[in-house]
Every structure is written in structure tokens, then in C-alpha cells.
Chains A and B, each alone.
Chain A
């Protein structure tokens, strides 16, 4: 069977989320590289036919077309031979979904803040940054609690898709003007995520740490 195909732009945060997930899951991806900025390839007729919202990335595999990053992560993690990144325990699995939805529904403002700061996207950069920071504080509170419970990751004691989804906006937060100084629990957690097998970086996330 051929590898899943990711429509990819290296500097896009959600594309990195999928490259990271595939790498950690040990799943091979075929990348189709787009010039999103300044080329606006993601608004081309051919791309919009697959992804009508014109968002990156898109994942295609054997006729399946996915446009939502969380669904792509779940699909990759469910492929035969993928490393277990979905907790078997129902409560932990639900907690993973809870935080995946937080990543997409709430922390979408972090993607918007970054696009505004780096890629000339429209938006109120100051307001987007303030809201992103408030949401990262909420994640900081959660990881502080997890630490007190002896659980090193977002959903429980082991790495899950939620960690990989949420690592991205935190690791890239300096791109939109949020330092890591105020987030001790997230710093410790990010160091754990960085040490996981298959971890890869992207521009803006130093190789060294």
C-alpha cells in the first residue's frame, strides 16, 4: 500500500503537527510541497477542489481526503504498525480528545497569531497574542496538575496525540511574541516531548535544547 500523502508547507504549524505525528508514530508520509507564502498555492483551484476552506494541510490516502488535523492524526495513529499514541484506557482516551479539541477549537488563535506575525495574515496581532497567552496559561495549569498526579503527559502517564498537537503552539510561541519564561510546567513537559523517539523539529524550534 502506498504511503499517505500530505500537502505540506514547511513553515505552517499544522503541517509540522502532522509531520511530527507521522515521525513519532513511525509512519512514512509522502510530502507534496506547496508554496503557501508568498505563492498562495493553497488557494489554487486544484487545492481548493480537495480542501474547500483552503487550509493546510490535507491528507490523502487510498481515496480518503481529510481536512482536519486532529482527524489526520487519528488516522495516522490507527494505521497498521503505528506506534501506540491513542491511550487504550477509555478515560485517558477521552481526555486526549478533550485536549485535541482544545487544540483545534481554542488554540486555533495561536495559529492565527503566528500567521499574523509571520505571514501577513489579517487580524489583531495584540489581541490574538493576549488570548493565546491566556490559553497557554490554562494548559500550564493542567500540566501543573498532571505533575502533581505524577502524570507527565497531557492525557496521562504516556505520550498521546494531544501532546503532539499542543506541543506545536507552545514550541512556536516565540514566533508570535510569547516567551517560555512564564510556563515552568510546559517547559518541563516540552522537554519530555522533545526526548520522545522520532521527535523532529521545524524552523523556529531549535534542534538544541
Chain B
């Protein structure tokens, strides 16, 4: 079930300049990458040449390059270099599929439905990233386990859960990876100390058990 609007897909701090990562949004494969200048890009995770995942590729300067045949794509999605044809002036029609993306409140967001023009930006906030937690349960089950894990009431606003954990207010980005798996991008408002952050990490780990995942014994 697609909720039109901005969906969080990663914590900003987890995608370093010059790196890429793959993820899923409701089963659709996407790549998020950050160029050396610091801008985050979110695209279909597919090289238009042979369909290789671009998330397996590597970032150099303002390009992401496919690991398979080295086709290089600039931030607009346009292919700017094909190593097998070094003299070729690459036609402007060769492009990766790009999606509207932005950063706010410590997270990288993509606009849904994928490929639609961006709407008004997501709410911003000053936060400390805690962690992204990937769970082998549907998003609804992850949401249901949150109040017990963090011992506080939860309000959902679109793809964000606001949770009052007593000592700290959590702002949690909600990502449905597929119908059966989910990711929580957990941030805390303000600048909590290390002790509080470690407590939040322990609670996030316990959330796996609450959500029904077994201990790997």
C-alpha cells in the first residue's frame, strides 16, 4: 500500500560521501548514493545497460559507475562515459531512472509514487541519529512493537512515528521494504548523551525479539 509523499530510506549519516547502498521500498529496488560534494541521489537500482544493480557500483566524484561495464552516470541520471567506447559522445537518451530525493531531519527521503515530481519537503528537525533497524516483519508489526520497546506512546504522522520515550523524544522513519520486511530509521530529538543512546540501542535490539525474531542460538 503506497502512501503518496516522502518515504525515509536511510539515516543520512549512514550514507557517506562517495558511497552507495541498495534498499527496497515496497519491493522496488532502489539505490541511494552520495556524491563527493555531499548530495544524496535516489534512483532505480538498475543500470540501463544490462540491468546490473547500481548499488554494487562505486562512486567517484559526481558520478556513480556500474561495476559490470563501467558505465558512468552523473547526478541527473545521464550516462557520461562508456569505457568500451572512450571516444563516444554518449547520447543524452542513455539515462538511469532517477527519483525525487531530499534530506531532512537526519534522513534521506524519496518521493512516492517513485518517479513522480516532488511535493513540499518533509518536516525538518534537529536530531541525533540512533540507528536503522531492519526487521523480518511487516511494518505494521514493527510499529505495534515500538511502544513496548521504548515504553512510551506513539503517534504516526505519514511515514514518521513520534514516540515519547520519557527522557527523550524519538522521531522514527518508517520504511516498508516489502510486504513482509521493514526498516525503522530511529533518531532522537536534540543531543542525548552516550548513556541514553546506548539504552536506546539496547531497546532497539530487544525490539527484534518483541517483533517475533528468534535469538540466533
Q: Which residues of chain A have a CB within 8 Å of any CB of chain B?
A: 131, 134-135, 137-138, 141, 144-145, 148-149, 179-182, 184-185, 187-188, 191, 206, 208-209
> Would you call A188 and B201 a contact (CB within 8 A)?
no
Complex Cα gap A181–B198 (Å): 23
Complex Cα gap A163–B201 (Å): 22
> Would you call B58 and A187 a contact (CB within 8 A)?
no
Partner of B131, one of A144, A187, A191, A206: A144
> Would you call A208 and B14 a contact (CB within 8 A)?
no
Partner of B58, one of A135, A148, A149, A208: A208
Partner of B216, one of A135, A184, A187: A135
Q: Which residues of chain B have a CB within 8 Å of any CB of chain A?
A: 10-11, 14, 16, 19, 21-24, 55-56, 58, 65, 67, 131-132, 134, 183, 194, 197-198, 201, 205, 208, 214, 216
Residues of B within 8 A of A138 (CB): 216
Residues of B within 8 A of A208 (CB): 58, 65, 67
Given A145-B201, A149-B194, residue A188 in contact with residue B16 (CB < 8 A): yes
Residues of A within 8 A of B14 (CB): 184-185, 187-188
Total A-B contacts with CB atoms under 8 angstroms apart:
53
Given A148-B194, A148-B201, A206-B58, residue A182 in contact with residue B134 (CB < 8 A): yes
> Would you call B16 and A191 a contact (CB within 8 A)?
yes
> Would you call A206 and B67 a contact (CB within 8 A)?
yes
Residues of B within 8 A of A137 (CB): 134, 208, 216
> Would you call A209 and B58 a contact (CB within 8 A)?
yes
Closest beta carbon of chain A to B192's beta carbon, Å: 10
Given A141-B205, A206-B67, A208-B67, residue A185 in contact with residue B131 (CB < 8 A): yes
> Would you call B194 and A181 a contact (CB within 8 A)?
no
Please name 20 pairs of A and B residues whose Cβ atoms are closer than 8 Å in the assembled complex, sorted by A: A137-B134, A137-B208, A141-B205, A148-B194, A148-B198, A148-B201, A149-B194, A181-B22, A181-B23, A181-B55, A182-B134, A182-B183, A184-B10, A184-B14, A187-B21, A188-B16, A206-B58, A206-B67, A208-B58, A209-B19
Residues of B within 8 A of A179 (CB): 22
Complex Cα gap A149–B194 (Å): 7
Complex Cα gap A121–B190 (Å): 52
What residue of chain B has the Cβ atom nearest to residue A133's Cβ? B216
